[in-house]
Amino acid sequence: MVYDVVVIGAGAAGLMCAVQAGYAGKRVLVLDHANKAGKKILMSGGGRCNFTNLDTSAQHFYSANPHFCISALKRYRPEHFVELIDRHGVEYVEKAPGQLFCAHSSKAIVTTLLTECEWAGVEIKLNTAISRVERRGDAMQLMTALGKIDAGVVVVATGGLSIPTLGATGFGYELARQFGLEVLPTRPGLVPFTLSDAWKARAAELAGVSVPVAASVGDTRFAEPLLFTHRGLSGPGMLQISSVWQPGDELIIDLLPGEDAERALREARQQHPKRQLSTWLGERFPKRMAQSLLGWHALPEDERVLAEQTNDNLARWGEQLNRWRLKPSGTEGWRTAEVTMGGVATDDISSKTFEVKGMAQLRFIGEVLDVTGQLGGYNFQWAWASGVACGQSC
Ligand code: FDA
């Protein structure tokens, strides 16, 4: 079998790349070892795929080479993807500013991509293991469950390591190393935190409670909700900060973002001296949370009315509410992480064509590269943009 382009991975980036190469007149084959195309798209965004973010720019991505993503993101913008799904009649909603989700189901995105593949004449072979990829002069050869396949260009779109049950493997990293590319250390990103015994039990008691917070590690801060779970902390704010968190780091969580708790408590003492601290907390937090907070931090004097609270005690509460310091014991890891931090170093990859510099017949796109977006639709936009740039230049 001979193809102009063989794409390894029928995920977001691989399908998008295949469509572009197909429309450019290339004979294109997409291979995947999974039994279905676009499994991560299907389960993303709680089944409704947050397929882009209208505010996409390089500042929402992590990479050792922060400029690498700029060119592709500028050339294929969120409006281009919106225009594509509009043509396929996919309905969508802006759930949070800039974050576009399917109105009904992620299936609409996979159907769009598979329909485009069909129109572009792309062949897709699922359930196909690939054992080797080799260079043959100016071309490539793949050893697969279907036999030997010759390709003018091989595009590696195998994604990251998160959620192995959805088909994730490190095959893309192995190929990168085989051809002399550096692979930067990988770790789970956009992943819930786990807590140790005392805090784990406290979080479990509050499982299901969500509160707006601002969470920081070092200079990085995200103001988005925190969700308590049976294992620890999740919700958008925790997922976001997990991408910069390293084992051993302390999280600083502002439970009252935008309010100086110590000052507000002093004002309350002046204006409502007979009020209890528990009442003040109850005005700001869900009831279960207000009660738990008292349990976590209480001293006997907290039982007294505000008029009898010392400045020191109010300062202590201010600190606990605006700067709750917590050391997670870890994260839930690859089992639930949405993305992979790190990956194939971009230094030896062209940001225009995604070919390996000096070896145009081998290319890497999507999440397998050391480019990882924040939460909010940025990761799919990267998959689309890198897929288009590569596919159009194959
Ligand atoms: P992707 O992972 O999509 O595809 C890789 C493909 O390669 C898979 O089909 C896999 O089977 C195949 N493959 C792997 N190894 C192989 C091998 N050895 N041989 C053959 N095939 C192989 N992002 C976002 O922007 N908005 C969102 O709402 C979400 N939500 C979300 C939820 C969950 C639960 C997860 C896990 C992830 C998200 N994401 C997200 C992230 C997003 O899904 C991710 O960044 C993109 O799918 C990456 O696209 P790729 O095409 O690079 O990899």
Q: What would the pLDDT profile of 307-332 be if each residue is shown by its tens digit? A: 999 999 999 999 999 999 999 999 99
Pocket test for ligand 1, best of 7, 33, 40, 344 (most atoms within 8 A of CB): 40
- Give the position, in ligand 1's atom list, of the atom nearest the Cα of 52: 25
pLDDT at 303: 80
> What CATH number does the domain containing 221 carry?
2.40.30.10
CA of 238 to the centre of ligand 1 (A): 21
Q: Output the CA angle 371-357-382, nearest 5 degrees.
A: 25
Whether residue 136 sits in one domain with residue 226: no
For residues 316 and 341, membership in a common domain is answered with no
Domain hosting 79: range is: 2-188+335-393
Tell whether 132 and 240 lie within a shared domain: no
Q: What is the pLDDT of residue 222?
A: 98
Asked whether 190 lines ligand 1 (CB < 6 A), one says no
- What pLDDT is recorded for position 64? 98
Say if residue 142 is in the same domain as residue 71.
yes
Look at residues 331, 358, 381 and tell me which one is the last residue of a structural domain: 331
pLDDT score at 242: 98
Distances (CA, A) of 125 to 31, 34, 41, 149: 5, 10, 18, 12
pLDDT at 257: 97
Give how many domains the chain has, as a whole number.
Answer: 2
- 180 alpha carbon to ligand 1 midpoint, in Å? 24
Verify that 309 and 353 share a domain, yes or no.
no
Q: Across the chain, which distance is largest between two alpha carbons, in Å?
A: 84
Q: Is 380 near ligand 1, meaning CB less than 6 Å away?
A: yes
Positions in the chain short of pLDDT 50: none
pTM of the predicted model, to two decimals?
A: 0.97
Question: What does the alpha-carbon distance between residue 153 and residue 28 come to, in Å, rounded to a whole number?
Answer: 10
Q: Which two tokens stand for residue 97?
A: 């500013």
Cβ–Cβ < 8 Å for 102, 91: yes
User: Does residue 159 share a domain with residue 16?
Assistant: yes
Is 13's C-beta closer than 6 angstroms to any atom of ligand 1? yes
Please tell me whether residues 133 and 238 are part of one structural domain.
Answer: no
Same domain for 167 and 204, yes or no, is no
Is residue 145 domain-shared with residue 166, that is, in the same domain?
Answer: yes
Q: 144, 128 in Cβ contact below 8 A? A: yes
Q: Are strands 359-364 and 147-156 parallel, antiparallel or unpaired?
A: parallel
Show the CA angle centred on residue 122, arms to residues 121 and 123, nearest 5°: 115
Residues 245, 178 share a domain = no
Give the pLDDT confidence score for residue 344 in this predicted structure. 98
pLDDT of residue 18: 99
- The confidence score (pLDDT) of residue 301 equals 81
User: Which residue, 278, 301, 331, sits at the end of a domain?
Assistant: 331
In the prediction, which pLDDT does 137 show?
94
Report the pLDDT value the prediction gives residue 368, as an integer from 0 to 100.
98
Rounded to the nearest angstrom, the distance between the alpha carbon of 160 and the centre of ligand 1 is: 7
Of 293, 310, 331, the domain-final residue:
331
Q: Do residues 126 and 212 share a domain? A: no
d(CA 125, CA 119): 16
